[in-house]
Amino acid sequence: MADDPVLEHELEALLEREWFDVPEEFRERALISDLSEHERAAHDPVGWWEEQASALDWFEPWQHALEDEDAPFYRWFAGGRLNVSHNCLDRHVQAGLGERVAFHWHGEEGEQRRITYAQLLADVQRCANALKARGIGPGDVVGIYLPMIPEVVVAMLACARIGAPHNVVFGGFSAESVHERMAFSNASCLITSDGGRRKGRTVAVKAEVDRTMDDLTHLETILVVRHTGVDCPMRDGRDLWWDEALAAADPECPAESLDSEHPLFILYSSGSTAKPKGIQHTTGGYLTGVTWTFRNVFDLRADEDVFWCTADVGWITGHSYIVYGALANAATSVMFEGAPDYPHKGIWWELCERYGVTILYTAPTAIRTCMKWGVEHVRGFDRSALRLLGTVGEPINPKAWAWYWHVVGEGRCPVVDTWWQTETAQIMITTLPGAQRMKPGAAGTPLPGIAAKVVDGEGREVQRDVQGLLTLRQPWPGMLRGLYREPDRYLSGYWERFGAPNYFVGDAAREDRDGYFWVIGRVDDVINVSGHRMSTAEVESAIVSHPKVAEAAVIGQSDEDTGQAICAFVTLRGELDGDDSLTDEIREHVGQRIGKLARPRRVIWTGDLPKTRSGKIMRRLLKDIAEGRQLGDVTTLRDPGVVHEIAASMGDEDE
Ligand code: WTA
């Protein structure tokens, strides 16, 4: 990009602007073009959310909108009964929208599949019956480990239809991570594929999975989607082919009437210890939260728009905005199997042209990567259908914001920077695109029905413009309902710090004089790599499980491309010396244990690690060293010499 002085100059000029106005043509047609919803909701947040919930189809009405007697174990729309798959499918088909495209699926090698709402409903019913035929019913956990293919959506909705909570594992995680998640959640079934494709290569998925699953006696069924045709071992009595099971199943499966608080899914996410947290979401509140936010943050006109969220279904972004929020609103979406640079670096923009994408939702790290590749890949394709852009996952630096606005959106499309978490399930802080001006770098204001504040360590509100801890001050319908089988961890992780209803987010933030929130980053031991949450403790424990390693400490180091990059300080056993081949071995080992995305970018060999007298590793100091900052207080260290040694050896390395 540095080679393009004209563009560079244009971006510089944009960076001088604090505010960007909503483009007039956008405002004129926007669903919401003023702050009246914010105001109405502020008056009576629970009543306002009830109004949004009533836009869904309920089999039986709720008695209480919000029950908080057991706070922080909140219940939304208690007594009400509904079904998520009915709301995402049957309701639309009954309204005559059966022929509307739910997904334009685009495969890695350019294959295309068009899946209508009617087809999705038919497949979901068969899949639901196939699961039932294996004895799976309400409350039984079903694991899903699939690539970005339409079957992943069918599987999720089939689970929702029969009340079996799903536990989706991101396809980029290793088989060992799948094993761990299946064990923690006691899954009785796993839905996976024979193989997966990645940039022209084929990998054997089922064979890998088999390597780790044998000891799980509760896992009685593995349903296998034929995707790549690679060799695939099948075990009699346990393993079934997806296509055969669906063909044999009854085509009709009525949607189960489920309690509003019936568990919809568990999604494992990184916390500050090595064990991932099983974040639990339920039915009525979740669907209310994602349906309203999808429609209004993306200003959806369901009969015209083509929405594309580039996330993987295995993350919360995929759950809420590829699957549930999109389908509940009868939207048409693009689903793409592949990587952004295969078969070429302009593939995303080619897809925008081909499918006439009007709303694009992606992550800042992807935008930075596209910036690096150069504007020619973007400008080679027609993006005139685009009218709204969104980002999620990490703070967006103003330069990437300006590039997104100027190059991708041609100065015509509002950009919504959406802050939220796996725990919140729904977008919480952003700008409503037809109603609120944008400020690059700031996410925006809390959405209607959401209350956020920045507080100090004791929970006292800080002044505007002062950095502190982000908290959410009142329950919202999509909020997590707990951590799977770990109620104490739920209490201590989110509620003990400030006391319910004040939810501890784990992010540092600042609210500016205009009430816009600038989210800075995590305050716990969670690293954000390309918008993906990784736990330092989890990576450390994977490194330490390598036979040559004695100890390890992992930190997130600022990185221009990925936001943060994983940097590991490693002490070897005995007299071993570290070298490049051992670095590769350790990276590979972590890839096997967790997944490729957890492999450290940098491995630094150290004779010892800085520890307090009680033996706690001081990551803060390692971070100072890695970022080349003045070292903080070292007086509490058992051996202050250690940090100087590490700093000196890193100086050598950089030379
Ligand atoms: C970070 C992803 C700044 C934040 C939906 C949060 C953001 C964590 C933004 C949640 C944003 C997400 N601006 N930071 N717009 N969006 N984050 O659970 O640190 O994978 O706590 O959910 O990502 O990550 P998670």
Q: How far apart are CA 481 and CA 274, in angstroms?
A: 21
| CA 419 to ligand 1 centroid distance, Å | 6
**Residue 352 near residue 386 (C-beta atoms within 8 A):** yes
Q: How far apart are CA 244 and CA 68, in angstroms?
A: 46
Cβ of 119 closer than 6 Å to ligand 1, yes or no, is: no
Of ligand 1's atoms, which has the minimum distance to the CA of residue 519? 3
Strand order in the sheet with 388-392: 112-116, 101-106, 333-336, 307-309, 359-362, 388-392, 415-418
| CA 389 to ligand 1 centroid distance, Å | 17
Cβ of 401 closer than 6 Å to ligand 1, yes or no, is: no
Of ligand 1's atoms, which has the minimum distance to the CA of residue 417? 15
Best residue for ligand 1 mutational test, from 168, 297, 321, 533 (most atoms within 8 Å of Cβ): 533
Cβ of 321 closer than 6 Å to ligand 1, yes or no, is: no
Cβ of 519 closer than 6 Å to ligand 1, yes or no, is: yes
| CA 563 to ligand 1 centroid distance, Å | 12
Q: How far apart are CA 592 and CA 565, in angstroms?
A: 18
Cβ of 328 closer than 6 Å to ligand 1, yes or no, is: no
Q: How far apart are CA 171 and CA 235, in angstroms?
A: 22
Cβ of 443 closer than 6 Å to ligand 1, yes or no, is: yes
Distance of CA 95 to the CA centre of its chain: 31
What six digits make up the tokens of 557?
A: 């180091």
| CA 521 to ligand 1 centroid distance, Å | 8
Query: Domain extents for the chain?
Result: 6-509, 530-654
Cβ of 431 closer than 6 Å to ligand 1, yes or no, is: no
| CA 311 to ligand 1 centroid distance, Å | 13
530-654: what fold?
GMP Synthetase; Chain A, domain 3 (3.30.300)
Cβ of 530 closer than 6 Å to ligand 1, yes or no, is: no
CA 130-136-137 angle, 5° bins: 115
Cβ of 392 closer than 6 Å to ligand 1, yes or no, is: yes
Average pLDDT for the chain: 95
85's enclosing H/E stretch is: helix 84-85
Tens digit of pLDDT for each residue in 399-434?
999 999 999 999 999 999 999 999 999 999 999 999
What DSSP string describes 111-157? -EEEEEHHHHHHHHHHHHHHHHHTT--TT--EEEE--SSHHHHHHHH
| pLDDT attached to residue 429 | 98
* Rg of the chain, C-alpha, whole Å: 24
- Contacts for 7 with CB less than 8 Å, ≥ 6 apart: 1, 375, 407
Neighbouring C-alpha atoms within 13 Å toward the C-beta of 544? 12
Kindly tell me the burial class for residue 602, based on how many C-beta atoms sit within 10 Å of its own C-beta (0-12, 13-18, 19 or more).
middle
pTM (global) more than 0.85? yes
Q: How far apart are CA 119 and CA 127, in angstroms?
A: 12
Cβ of 319 closer than 6 Å to ligand 1, yes or no, is: no
- Other CB atoms within a 10 A radius of the CB of residue 19 amount to 10
User: Looking at ligand 1, which residue's alpha carbon is closest to its atom 5?
Assistant: 421
**Residue 209 near residue 145 (C-beta atoms within 8 A):** yes
User: Looking at ligand 1, which residue's alpha carbon is closest to its atom 6?
Assistant: 421
Closest CA to 107 of 362, 352, 335: 335
What are 168's strand-pairing partners?
144
| pLDDT attached to residue 4 | 87
User: Looking at ligand 1, which residue's alpha carbon is closest to its atom 10?
Assistant: 421
Cβ of 276 closer than 6 Å to ligand 1, yes or no, is: no
**Residue 61 near residue 244 (C-beta atoms within 8 A):** no
| CA 421 to ligand 1 centroid distance, Å | 5
Tens digit of pLDDT for each residue in 245-276?
999 999 999 999 999 999 999 999 988 888 99
Cβ of 397 closer than 6 Å to ligand 1, yes or no, is: no
Neighbouring C-alpha atoms within 13 Å toward the C-beta of 201? 5
Tens digit of pLDDT for each residue in 105-150?
999 999 999 999 999 999 999 999 999 999 999 999 999 999 999 9
What DSSP string describes 206-266? HHHHHHHHTT-TT--EEEEE-SS-------TTTEEEHHHHHHHS-S--PPP-EETTSEEEE
User: Looking at ligand 1, which residue's alpha carbon is closest to its atom 15?
Assistant: 419
User: Looking at ligand 1, which residue's alpha carbon is closest to its atom 12?
Assistant: 393
Write down the H helix ranges in 329-457.
Answer: 347-355, 364-373, 376-379, 398-403
Cβ of 421 closer than 6 Å to ligand 1, yes or no, is: yes
**Residue 419 near residue 517 (C-beta atoms within 8 A):** yes
Closest CA to 246 of 262, 225, 227, 273: 225
φ, ψ for residue 380, nearest 5 deg: -70, -5
- Contacts for 458 with CB less than 8 Å, ≥ 6 apart: none
Cβ of 259 closer than 6 Å to ligand 1, yes or no, is: no
Cβ of 290 closer than 6 Å to ligand 1, yes or no, is: no
| pLDDT attached to residue 655 | 41
Cβ of 320 closer than 6 Å to ligand 1, yes or no, is: no
The reply to whether 530-654 shares the fold of 6-509 is no
| pLDDT attached to residue 652 | 61
| CA 537 to ligand 1 centroid distance, Å | 19
Cβ of 507 closer than 6 Å to ligand 1, yes or no, is: yes
Cβ of 422 closer than 6 Å to ligand 1, yes or no, is: yes
| pLDDT attached to residue 651 | 67
Tens digit of pLDDT for each residue in 293-305?
999 999 999 999 9
Cβ of 528 closer than 6 Å to ligand 1, yes or no, is: yes
Distance of CA 5 to the CA centre of its chain: 35
User: Looking at ligand 1, which residue's alpha carbon is closest to its atom 7?
Assistant: 394
Along the chain (655 residues), what's the average pLDDT of each consecutive run of 10 residues? 82 96 97 98 98 98 97 98 98 98 97 98 98 98 98 98 98 96 97 96 96 94 97 96 98 98 97 91 98 98 98 97 98 97 97 98 96 95 98 95 98 98 98 98 98 97 96 98 97 97 97 97 91 91 93 92 94 89 96 94 92 84 87 82 84 55
Q: How far apart are CA 131 and CA 33, in angstroms?
A: 45
6-509: in CATH 3.40.50.12780: yes
Q: Are strands 75-78 and 112-116 parallel, antiparallel or unpaired?
A: unpaired
| pLDDT attached to residue 414 | 98
